Structure 1
């Protein structure tokens, strides 16, 4: 039987194995570069046994920050022809080869958690990172708000590539002229676990549009047909702004305007409540239509500091339907697919974010979620994601962020209300 000590060693070894010297890849082959929110989770994992390496991870991520403040979702530090779409397809305009879109802004939250473990040495890192994180957050506030909620402009931006929430907006895109291309993801992972060609054609079309417009945010605002107010981005930015404010106050940094931005985002979060399904939901800003989806992003409200009796009822229902934490899509939906990426599987990182919020609010389901995630990894290892019903591992293996979740949260044998240690 695998012991907790063995799993801790395995998790540390995965982080070391995926370390590329200053940044960490999610897993070998499938994802050979530095991904934005993966990297922030990696930093939290490293902080459990190598605090200096944790800070280095975040510092490296921000070396790719664009002049306008945006931090890209992929940084192409080294060439790898086995990955598509690469830097030539993206045509990023930052200081390093990168993609042209961003990802959920969790870096400030992870930085604060790491700082809590390392205040003496960590102060210099926070002081250096603070203006960079502030600029990134302000970029969101300038370019991505709709009724105060934060929008995604590409399905990859939310980190939840093929969630049913994007089905409506994606169907309206005609990927004319996208041309021939060769996917590499399905060479590493069973195609039944990945987005379809229908999805991928539209992903690439959106990338080509961004490159054609030289990633000019004003032009994208006018031309891009995909613009969805998203719970993932809204809740993660709201939480990140709260953490940035707390760090700034503690260290005497300039926090002017942060309270106003937080209030704006709180109103934005409220605008994502869909009375029809009694849940937080994605909203197509082009049509005003709801996705009518209960997703794992719907449950990030507590992570953002927002309690919700209605969402609590949804959480109880969903957890009663599956064995291993919060599935990426409602298990009672006809669109639920337990092994296809973000259309049903459980992701340990989303369990972590949801669980952190639940624990901070002393929610009665907090311990249940932590224990379910612990059992999931104990029984099925460090996969990218898992079937929420039987725990079958899916996607990439030896995955950085699942190892980080084990080290920082799921592997802690504690009660559920004491947060990350």
Structure 2
């Protein structure tokens, strides 16, 4: 049941005010100055916060996001609804005007958390939201199919990213070695806008940005042709966060399709889920004792865990021995810092407590990790992460991310997904799937436990 805005108080009301302040009329910007457009997974997660006090506005958020879907099924990672020269790279750098529908967009995607969000919106009131959800299911189906066609054309069961930005976790140390093979000749002469707004010690370094822009150039030069990208892109990496979120999204899409009586979509999603479920094993590293990034060009596993490693439990049931090992390692991580979950191993030499994705804590990742832990019976550990997240917000307000050592905030201010996670987590501390008896059939192998949480 949703509340009215007037029924919110304290931190919850402040969170709602941030969402309303970043609302641009049907879509929400992550942060007014730093990110002035609609971002893909930011937008989906923001819908959860709106659902607490304005369900109609929550549905508008995901509807506007999916309205920018390309003809090939991809949902882009940035939608440039209005002209704004303060952001780089803008539409002219992406060069997608001949491919994307109006408005212009970027040429890559982001983790498809939208299906998981929409399932939760639907579960709030299935009768009230049935028609809106039914209109979005075909879009989700086409997007999920695009991932397997465009990012796993060899059928290995893991989807690749062709750019670090596509992972949503832009600056991970995981990308350092794969990026080292990207030719940056001729890249330069651009002006970064992010470091005009945010301390440069909190953002990717210029050398990283050169590699990012070289990959944008590659995509633009091949007109974002997915066959050429899959064959020739120098950066072709499978990582646990993206694959876990897609795997979860498929099981949530199956549940919605069954609930709404769309057997065709349920069947296609079930087939995709089986492929992803089998392929996820490729990301397990016995050496590290967890799910890690795999450089598909060179067949190399990363040598460290990231916060995305724990999303394996968000994706679906992990075998008990592995889940126990992962929970133990996560507890060890939390014991090394004041606030969790750091985005990279705090004992690793490349850990940087305040630089973008190389150490900081992110509220929305914490929510996904905690959700997976609850579904694996690790409720105390999940509650510890929830308390950590709220204490960071209480200390440093609704920042983009937080230092796990000191708790100070970094990146953008009045950040939408931090506000959304705080508000939604307070209102919905447990998982809220569509009731099993309404999904008309059993879940795909490996997801039955999720339906009984």
- Specify which of 348, 351, 357 is matched with residue 342 of structure 1: 357
RMSD of equivalent CA atoms: 1.4
SS at match of 2:53: coil
Task: String of CA shifts for 1:194-217, please: whole Å, max 9, x gaps.
Answer: 000110001111101111111000
- Residue 439 of structure 2 corresponds to which residue in structure 1? none
SS at match of 1:202: helix
Task: String of CA shifts for 1:363-416, please: whole Å, max 9, x gaps.
Answer: 14111111211222122210000001221101001000000001111x35x9x6
Alignment pair present for 1:56 and 2:60: yes
Alignment pair present for 1:271 and 2:282: yes
- Specify which of 372, 386, 403 is matched with residue 370 of structure 1: 386
Report the alpha carbon displacement of residue 420 of structure 1 after superposing the two structures with TM. Answer: 5.6
The 2-side partners of 1:361 and 1:419 are apart by 12
Indicate conservation of the 8 Å contact 2:367/2:421, yes or no. yes
Indicate conservation of the 8 Å contact 2:317/2:376, yes or no. no
TM-score of the two chains, using structure 2 as the length reference? 0.89
- Residue 76 of structure 1 corresponds to which residue in structure 2? 80
- Residue 284 of structure 1 corresponds to which residue in structure 2? 295
The 1-side partners of 2:328 and 2:431 are apart by 22
Report the alpha carbon displacement of residue 331 of structure 1 after superposing the two structures with TM. Answer: 0.2
Task: String of CA shifts for 1:46-90, please: whole Å, max 9, x gaps.
Answer: 000000000000000011100000000000000000100000110
- How is 1:205-224 mapped onto 2 (pairs within 5 angstroms)? 205-224=214-233
Indicate conservation of the 8 Å contact 2:123/2:432, yes or no. no
- How is 1:224-243 mapped onto 2 (pairs within 5 angstroms)? 224-243=233-252
Task: String of CA shifts for 1:212-270, please: whole Å, max 9, x gaps.
Answer: 11100001112200010111110000000000000001110121232221111111211
The 2-side partners of 1:64 and 1:324 are apart by 37
Report the alpha carbon displacement of residue 328 of structure 1 after superposing the two structures with TM. Answer: 0.5
The 2-side partners of 1:50 and 1:299 are apart by 31
- Specify which of 194, 202, 207 is matched with residue 211 of structure 2: 202
Task: String of CA shifts for 1:6-51, please: whole Å, max 9, x gaps.
Answer: 1111100000000000100000111000000000011111000000
- Residue 108 of structure 1 corresponds to which residue in structure 2? 115
Indicate conservation of the 8 Å contact 1:108/1:243, yes or no. yes
Indicate conservation of the 8 Å contact 1:51/1:118, yes or no. no
- Residue 125 of structure 1 corresponds to which residue in structure 2? 132
* Structure 1, unaligned runs of 5 or more: none
- How is 1:247-258 mapped onto 2 (pairs within 5 angstroms)? 247-253=256-262, 254=264, 255-258=266-269
- Specify which of 36, 39, 44 is matched with residue 40 of structure 1: 44
SS at match of 1:47: helix
TM-score of the two chains, using structure 1 as the length reference? 0.96
Indicate conservation of the 8 Å contact 2:395/2:408, yes or no. no
Indicate conservation of the 8 Å contact 1:70/1:136, yes or no. yes
Return structure 1 stretches of 4+ with deviation > 3 angstroms. none
- Residue 399 of structure 1 corresponds to which residue in structure 2? 415
Report the alpha carbon displacement of residue 191 of structure 1 after superposing the two structures with TM. Answer: 0.3
Alignment pair present for 1:332 and 2:347: yes
SS at match of 1:297: helix
- Specify which of 187, 197, 206 is matched with residue 196 of structure 2: 187
Report the alpha carbon displacement of residue 164 of structure 1 after superposing the two structures with TM. Answer: 0.5
SS at match of 1:16: helix
- Residue 355 of structure 1 corresponds to which residue in structure 2? 370
- Residue 10 of structure 1 corresponds to which residue in structure 2? 14
Indicate conservation of the 8 Å contact 2:43/2:62, yes or no. yes
SS at match of 1:368: helix
Indicate conservation of the 8 Å contact 1:408/1:420, yes or no. no
SS at match of 1:209: helix
- Specify which of 20, 25, 37 is matched with residue 24 of structure 2: 20
